[in-house]
Structure 1
Amino acid sequence: MTHQTIIKNIAKGEYSPIYFLHGEEPYFIDLIEKFATTKIINESDRDFDQSIIYGKDTELQSVINSAKRFPMMGKHQVISVREAQNFKKFDELIQYAKKPQVQTILFFSYKGKKLDARILKKLGSNVTFFESKKLYDNQIPGWIINQVESEQLTIAEKSAVLLSEFLGNDLAKISNEIKKLTLSLPKTTEITPEIIEKNIGISKEYNVFELCNAIANRDIVKANRIVNHFADNEKNYPLVVTLSNLYRLFTKIMSCYFSPSNQPNVVAQILGVKPFFVKEYMNGKKNYTKRQIFNIIGYLSDYDLKSKGYGNSSTSDGELLKELVFKILH
C-alpha cells in the first residue's frame, strides 16, 4: 500500500487498528503519522486521546497496555510509537494484533530499515503495513516536480535538477524549501533558477549540475571557473558531494557505449534517467573514450581516498578538486 492510499483512507475516516510504517526513508513515515495525528483526533481532545511514545524510553508491553484502554473523550484514541526500531522483539504486538482494541489506532514508526519478513507475516491482517523506500537519485527531480505542482506552482525539469543536486536526497529538507517558496510566490508561478538563487541561495551558475555539464562538454574555461569558485567556498560545496556526482556522470557516460541505439528514449531507459538528461551523457560519450572514462573513474576513487586523508595530510579539498578536474580534462 502506498503512502498516498493510506492518507486518502484516513482522510475518509477509514482506519486500521494498527499501522506499521517501516523502511529507510523517514520522510514518508513522518508524513503519514503527522497527517493522522492532526486528522483523527479533534484538537480539543488531543490532550486526552492522543499519545506519543518513544521506543527507546518504554517497554512494548506498556504500549500494549495503553492500547487496550478506551478513549476518554472521542470515538478513538491515537497512540504514536516513534523509534520502534529500538524494540528487540514484537511478541506482545503479535498477540495484541490478533484481537486489537477497535477504538485505538496504533502507529509504529520503525525507521532506517525494513522489519523482518517473519515478523511482518506473524502480525497478520489487522495491521496495515507501509514500507518507506528511499528514492533513487534520478527519481528525485520528478518527485520535486510533483511536490511543486501539488502546491499549485510549476517548475522546469532543469530547475528541479538544480534543487536536487544542491539539497541532495533529504526529502524533508527539499519539502521545507518548497513550502518556503509557496509562501513567497503567487499561485501558478514557475520556479526558475533565478527564483531558486534568490530565495534558497543556490547559484544558478556555480553548482554541481553546471560543473558536470561543463566537464561532459569538455568546456575547460567554464569547468575551471566553477572549480575555482568551489575551492574558494569549500564549506558550501563539499568535495564528497562533487565526487559522487562526477562518479555518477562518468558511469552514465560509460553506459551510453552499451546502448543498442542512440535514440534518446532508448538511452534514457538504459541509463534509468529521464530523456532530458540524455544529451549531456551523449555529449560526454563524444568527448571521452572508454579508456579515458575507465581512467577517470580510477582518478575519482583515488581522490575520494585522498579527501579522507589516505595518502594526503595537508592538501585542501579545493586543491584536490582542482587537481582532479585538471586530470579529467587533460
Structure 2
Amino acid sequence: MKPEEFNKAVEKGELASLYLLYGDEPYLVERAVKKLMDRAVDPGFRDFNLDIFYGNECKGEEVFSAAQTLPMFADRRVVLVKKGGDLSAHAMEVLLPYLQDPSPGTCLILQAEKVDGRKKFYADFKKRGEAVEFKRPYENQLGPYVRDEVRAAGKKIEPAAAELLAYLVGNNLQELVSQIEKLCIYCGKKETVAVADVKAIVSDTKVESVFEFTDALGSKDLPRALKMLTALLQDGEVPLRMLGAVARHFRQLWQVRELLDRKVPQSELAKASGINPYFLGKVTAQARNYTVTELQRIFERMLELDLAFKSGGLEEPLFERFVMEACRR
C-alpha cells in the first residue's frame, strides 16, 4: 500500500487489523501512526483501549494478550509496537499465530524504521496486513511536498517560494513543516505565500546561515566560507546536517557542470536540470567555478568527512580542511 492510498483509506474509516508502518523518514511514519490512532480509537477512551509496547524490550506474550483483549466502550482498540523492527526471535514466534487470525476488534500497529523482510514474521505481516513504507522525499519532490503542506493549511504558495523554502531547509521534513507553519502564521489573512515571505521567515533561523555557507563554498569565497563555518559551529549547528546541505548544493553544481560540458543551451538548462529558474543563474555561475574532476574529488572528501564525523573525529579542523580544498582556485 502506498502512503497516499493509506491516507485515503484512513480518512474514509476503512481500517485493517494489521499495519506495518515503516521507513527512513521518521516524521512521516510518526504522523501516519498518529493519523491512524486518531481514527481508530476515540481519545476519550484511550485509557481503556490503547496499549503501547517497544519492540526492543517487550515480550511477545504481552503483545498477544493485549491484541486479543476486547475493546471497552468502543468498537476498536489499538495495540502499538514502537521499534517494531527490533522484536526478538521469541516474540516474533509467539506473535506469528496471531497474524493468521487477528482480532477484528483490534488494530495492531508495528512502527519501525527498518524491518528484515526475509524473516517469516515480517513477510507474513506484509502478506496478511497493510504494509506502508514512508521514504524520505528526493530533492525534486520537496517543492511539490511544500505546496501540498501549504495547501493543507488553507493557503497557496508561489512555485519559486516553494522551491526556495525546500532549497533552504532541505529534506529534514520536521524542520520543513515547522517553517511552513511559521510562514502560514506570518502571512495571516494573505492567501498566497510569496518569495519575500519565505526570506522574511527563514532568514531568522540557522537555515539561512547554512544556505549562505554553501553559497560561499560554491563561489569559492574562502574567507566568507571559513567565517560562516566558525559562526555556525559556535552557534551549535550539527556538522552532519551542514554536510548534508553542502552535498545537496554540490550535486546541483555537478549536474549543471555536466550539462554545460555537453553544450546544453542556456534556455534548456532549467528543464534539463530540474532546477527552478529562480536559482539557476547562481547555480550555473558557481558550476563554472569547477571541473567535473574537481567535483568528483570534493565528493570523495565529503564521504571521508562523513565517516570521520560519525567515528568521532575533530569536527572543526576537519571541516576547515575540506573548506580550504573546496575553495581552492
Output the TM-score relative to the length of structure 2.
0.77
8 Å contact from structure 1 (residues 254, 290) kept in 2 = yes
Unaligned segments of structure 2, at least 5 residues: none
Q: Which amino acid aligns with 2:288?
A: K
1:38 corresponding residue in structure 2: 38
- The equivalent residue for 1:54 is 54
Moved more, 147-156 or 69-78: 147-156
Q: By how many angstroms is 1:34 displaced? A: 0.6
Letter in 1 for 2:49: D
Report the secondary structure of 1:78's partner residue: strand
Q: Distance in 2 between matches of 1:211 and 1:132?
A: 30
Matched-pair contact (CA < 8 Å) for 2:257–2:288? no
1:97 paired residue number:
99
Q: Does 1:146 align with 2:148?
A: yes
CA 1:160–1:214 in structure 2 vs 1: closer, same or farther (change >3 Å)?
farther
Q: Amino acid of the residue matched to residue 153 of structure 1?
A: K
When the two chains are superposed, the root-mean-square deviation of aligned CA atoms in Å is 3.9
CA distance in 1, matches of 2:253, 2:61: 54
C-alpha distance in structure 2 between counterparts of 1:202 and 1:158, whole Å: 20
Distance in 2 of aligned mates of 1:316 and 1:266: 38
Go from structure 1 to structure 2 and tell me whether the alpha carbon gap of 1:285 and 1:124 turns closer, same or farther (over 3 Å shift). closer
Equivalent residues of 2:233, 2:316 under 8 A apart: no
1:250 deviates by 3.8
Q: Aligned letter for 2:99?
A: A
State the AA in 2 paired with 1:232: A
Matched, 1:201 2:200: no
The aligned counterpart of 1:190 is 193
Give per-residue Cα distances to partners, 1:149-189, cap 9 Å, x unaligned.
Answer: 22123344554455445544332232233234434432424
Q: After TM superposition, give the deviation of residue 61 of structure 1 in Å.
A: 2.4
Is it true that 1:128 corresponds to 2:127 in the alignment?
no
CA separation in 2, counterparts of 1:313 and 1:40? Answer: 46
Aligned-pair identity in percent equals 21
Once the two structures are overlaid, the 10-residue window that deviates more, 183-192 or 257-266, is: 257-266
Counterpart contact for 1:159–1:191, Cα < 8 Å: yes
- How many corresponding residue pairs? 321
Contact 1:71/1:104 (8 A) holds in 2:
yes
Within 1, Cα distance between the matches of 2:255 and 2:327?
23
Of residues 35-44 and 235-244 in structure 1, the stretch that sits farther from structure 2 once superposed is 235-244
Segments of 5+ residues of structure 1 without an aligned counterpart are: none
SS in 2 for 1:71: coil
Contact 1:53 1:80 in 2 (8 A): yes
1:225 Cα deviation after fit: 4.1
- Cα distance in 1 between the residues matched to 2:311 and 2:42: 55
Structure 1 residues 39, 194: CA separation in 2 closer, same or farther (over 3 Å shift)?
Answer: same
Instruction: Confirm or deny: 8 A CA contact 1:197 1:203 kept in the other structure.
Output: no
Aligned-residue offset at 1:127: 0.4
Q: Distance in 2 between matches of 1:82 and 1:311?
A: 32
Shift of residue 73 of structure 1? 0.8
Q: Partner of 1:231 in structure 2?
A: 230
Q: Please state whether the residue corresponding to 2:180 is helix, strand or coil.
A: helix
User: Contact conserved, 2:309 with 2:315, CA < 8 A, in 1?
Assistant: no
User: Residue 104 of structure 1 aligns to which amino acid in structure 2?
Assistant: T
TM alignment of 1:303-318, pairs within 5 A:
315=317
CA distance in 2, matches of 1:44, 1:170: 33
Question: CA separation in 1, counterparts of 2:35 and 2:305?
Answer: 44
Report SS of the residue matched to 1:201.
coil
Verify the 8 A CA contact 1:17 1:104 in the aligned structure 2: yes
**Contact 2:213 2:229 survives alignment (8 Å):** no
The structural deviation recorded for 1:20 is: 1.0
Q: String of CA shifts for 1:38-58, please: whole Å, max 9, x gaps.
A: 222223322212222222342
One-letter code aligned to 1:49: N
Q: Which moved more, 1:234-243 or 1:75-84?
A: 234-243
Aligned residue in 2 for 1:7: 7
- 1:320 positional shift: 4.5
Matched, 1:73 2:76: no
Work out the CA distance in 1 between the residues paired with 2:46 and 2:312: 54
Q: Which runs of 4+ in 1 moved over 6 A?
A: 301-314
Equivalent residue for 2:179? 177
